[in-house]
Structure 1
Amino acid sequence: MLIHSKQPHVGTTIFTVMSQLAAETGALNLSQGFPNYNCSPQLIELVNHYMQKGMNQYAPMAGILPLREILAQKTADLYQLNYHPADEITIVSGCTEAIYATMAAIVQSGDEVIVFEPAYDSYVPSIELNGGKPVYITLSPENDFSIDWSLVKSKINERTKALILTTPHNPTGKCLTQEDLNKLADAVKGTNVFIISDEVYEHIIFDERKHLSPAMHPELKERTFLCGSFGKTFHTTGWKLGYCMAPRELSVEFRKTHQWITFASPTPMQYAFADFMKNPDNYLSVRSFYEDKRNKFIKWLSSSRFTLKPAEGSFFQMLSYSNITDEPDYDLAVRWTKEIGVASIPVSVFYQNKNDNKILRFCFAKDDEMLEKAAERLCKL
């Protein structure tokens, strides 16, 4: 039996490839974006409590109301951004599902979606599987990965259905500014273009920057699907819980597709997060926790031959190796995993044409021992 593939050019994700190679070789895995330390013991106790209490059946399709209510409260307190928990917040199985469900809800055959590359690898498949066409805008290290909004405006036409943003950005760590939001609002003014905003690293942002969501701009909220994650904030990527916040009219269509993808997400974890987030310090402390890790990693790399600009947010640090070798980044990432025992992600995989800027992405969501050991090996190159 043969399948006529909908994605003939898509293989196994780079994150699976590099993590598997790291496991096979015993390398320090700074490739895939997950912590190598446990989440809060209190959070584990809460999950166990609700399992013992019998909260083990289907949650409501939109998620349990207490979790949606605490999310609404947090969003209002931090960003003065109001979403009604009953019909404007939906709990889903990770931000990847939130993005896919959004694409399934709004993209029709022939629609165009603007994608900024380097782009997280689930974006384009989500567009194409729903009949859309990605329109790429390439960001480069020469311009500090900044967005040329005049170019964005020139790409918008009657076929443009949406524009997908990430802030803080993966893999570059770049954060949107108020000027970016103002220019984005100008670019989409008078159009029917939706904004899909991936904000999984909202609390992992450094150097006294403030997280800025497109939804915080008064002219953008009505068209924005704000997609977030509990996994990145609370060190629970394996629980696969996220959410989508959007105005009621948008959420109605979002839920229509969400119900056929996963319908509902794990119940005891939802109750645990609802309780855990009652203490704001449990998410506000994440910023200093990861900023300290970023700073240590950079310090331990100070005698290396890499060049870098400290990440503005996320738990990834990009390192340019142009002073070390001209080898293609993919080949180099594989070779260094095998030879020096440090796994990374070649940034070229985030570009449609595999643009090779001689940059590797390293995840610093690891314990200090692993980070210091990895830096020591990298400094010997």
Structure 2
Amino acid sequence: MKRFLNQKIQAIQPSGIRKFFDIANQMENVISLGVGEPDFETPWHIREVGVDTLNNGYTFYTSNAGLLKLREAIAERIERFYGAKYNPQHEVLVTVGGSEAIDLALRATLNAGDEVIIPDPSYVSYLPCVQLADGVPVMLPLKEKNNFKLVPEDLEAVITPKTKILVLSFPNNPTGAIMTRQDLEAIIPVIVKHDLMVITDEIYADLTYGDQSHTSIISFPEMYDRTVYISGFSKAYSMTGWRLGYCAAPEDLLIQMTKIHQFAIMAAPTMSQYAGIEAIKHGDEDIEEMRHSYDQRRKFLLQQMDRLGIPCFEPQGAFYIFPNISQFGLSSEDFAWGLLEAEKVAVVPGTAFGPSGEGFIRISYAYSIKELRLAISRLEKYITNLKANH
């Protein structure tokens, strides 16, 4: 069989997150703080619409681009929050999760050898999706001293004549870092100077904390013609299993993305699309309720990291913390495996998100305070033993 397999696919490594948690899931009494999935059920009024579509027989294909009413709602929401105007008929595409939109954007734009800058650490799909599209991933280390933000001098340093795309992912998975309006203003001149395209993945945009609301790079008029905006319903509305995302981009590019989507997918699930309309139109209070709960958990974990003497950058978005465990003299993977084996707590090694994640672990706080308290007590026991044996 091996002679039939694609060499490019064979060379791509499986997700570092999934590989780790497939093993953890086979163990008993494990507290898993790793998978980036909300612990809330999809709000009932959204589920009810999904059920109603089945009861009413709305089970047929939609147009390739998605229900026009959903695309209109998406365009209205983007304009309401970010001031960017997209034509819902020609500049909005409904996808099977945000991950499909990432893949479509890269495949529709990259030619063999084109370079794509990927801030590191970052979501695990970017690098393999670039490779699948015959692009060349260029990892750009994000530094703890800069609060894991992308700064213009670091961006400038990795740009070459072959650079075509910059991937932005803020709020960031795994660090929880955000880019403020001032931070984005600082990098835009570099993007424009080198005529780069931007793919901005803002799936966690609604889960930001503190005084500042999320700022999207599409809020800047000069970025409209060179940006693909990607988001979805999984995180904000707790709709992971509905597999519903979307993207907005200039028409010329969206035509090509839709072409790939048409042949590979056809359309996003019909019942999910109707539920998505309900989520956008009546889900703001649900988001705020979940965001408030996440914020409480975020503050709790930060207090506990401080109490345990583990340095931890304060995340302002998403639902992860990214503590620095380098003081214990173990690699990220060895620390995570040791914690799993000794205390039955599963976290993700920072290196699952790129080489710059070495010395860190990712802990998700999309879990109850009760689970977090128990996990922290086990973590404390683990690091106490590490210190005693060091």
TM band (smaller chain) = over 0.9
SS in 1 for 2:281: coil
Inter-partner Cα distance in structure 2 for 1:300 and 1:119: 25
Inter-partner Cα distance in structure 1 for 2:324 and 2:141: 18
What's 2:350 paired with?
A: 347
What's 1:216 paired with?
A: 219
What's 1:144 paired with?
A: 147
Q: Which of 296, 309, 315 is the equivalent residue of 2:313?
A: 309
What is the correspondence of 1:224-239 to structure 2 with a 5 Å cutoff? Answer: 224-239=227-242
- Range with bigger deviation, 177-186 or 313-322: 177-186
Q: How much is the aligned-residue C-alpha RMSD, in angstroms?
A: 1.8
Residue 14 in structure 1 maps to residue 19 in structure 2? no
SS in 1 for 2:258: helix
Residue 293 in structure 1 maps to residue 294 in structure 2? no
Identity of aligned pairs, percent? 28
What's 1:361 paired with?
A: 362
Inter-partner Cα distance in structure 2 for 1:284 and 1:144: 25
Inter-partner Cα distance in structure 1 for 2:80 and 2:243: 25
What residue identity is the alignment partner of 1:130? Answer: A
Conserved? CA contact 1:199–1:227, under 8 Å: yes
- Range with bigger deviation, 52-61 or 95-104: 52-61
Residue 95 in structure 1 maps to residue 85 in structure 2? no
**CA deviation profile, 1:247-306 (whole Å, cap 9, x unmatched):** 222212221222223121111111012023212323344432321221233334453232
**CA deviation profile, 1:292-344 (whole Å, cap 9, x unmatched):** 22123333445323221221101111112234x21111122122112111111
Conserved? CA contact 1:30–1:364, under 8 Å: yes
What residue identity is the alignment partner of 1:367? Answer: S
What's 1:207 paired with?
A: 210
- Range with bigger deviation, 62-71 or 185-194: 185-194
**CA deviation profile, 1:95-118 (whole Å, cap 9, x unmatched):** 111000000100011111111111
What residue identity is the alignment partner of 2:7? Answer: S
What is the correspondence of 1:128-277 to structure 2 with a 5 Å cutoff? Answer: 128-277=131-280
What residue identity is the alignment partner of 1:314? Answer: A
Inter-partner Cα distance in structure 1 for 2:195 and 2:259: 20
**CA deviation profile, 1:124-144 (whole Å, cap 9, x unmatched):** 111111111112211122333
More helix by share: 2
Residue 66 in structure 1 maps to residue 80 in structure 2? no
Inter-partner Cα distance in structure 2 for 1:340 and 1:240: 33
- Range with bigger deviation, 361-370 or 283-292: 283-292
Conserved? CA contact 1:277–1:283, under 8 Å: no
Inter-partner Cα distance in structure 2 for 1:105 and 1:31: 32
| CA pair 185-143 structure 1, distance change in 2 beyond 3 A | closer
What's 1:378 paired with?
A: 379
What's 1:40 paired with?
A: 43
Inter-partner Cα distance in structure 2 for 1:66 and 1:356: 41
SS in 2 for 1:35: coil
- Range with bigger deviation, 94-103 or 185-194: 185-194
Inter-partner Cα distance in structure 1 for 2:362 and 2:253: 35
**Please, which runs of 5 or more residues in structure 1 have no aligned partner?**
none
What residue identity is the alignment partner of 1:303? Answer: R
Conserved? CA contact 1:290–1:365, under 8 Å: yes
What residue identity is the alignment partner of 2:14? Answer: T
What's 1:112 paired with?
A: 115
What's 2:336 paired with?
A: 333
Inter-partner Cα distance in structure 1 for 2:232 and 2:279: 15
Conserved? CA contact 1:22–1:28, under 8 Å: no
Q: CA shift at 1:240, angstroms?
A: 1.5
**Please, which runs of 5 or more residues in structure 2 have no aligned partner?**
384-390
Inter-partner Cα distance in structure 1 for 2:188 and 2:307: 43
What's 2:324 paired with?
A: 320
SS in 1 for 2:308: coil
| CA pair 191-139 structure 1, distance change in 2 beyond 3 A | closer
Instruction: Tell me the TM-score normalised to structure 2 length.
Output: 0.92
Inter-partner Cα distance in structure 1 for 2:289 and 2:73: 17
Inter-partner Cα distance in structure 2 for 1:21 and 1:335: 13
Instruction: Tell me the TM-score normalised to structure 1 length.
Output: 0.94
Inter-partner Cα distance in structure 2 for 1:139 and 1:153: 13
Conserved? CA contact 2:151–2:183, under 8 Å: no
Inter-partner Cα distance in structure 1 for 2:100 and 2:32: 25
| CA pair 36-289 structure 1, distance change in 2 beyond 3 A | closer
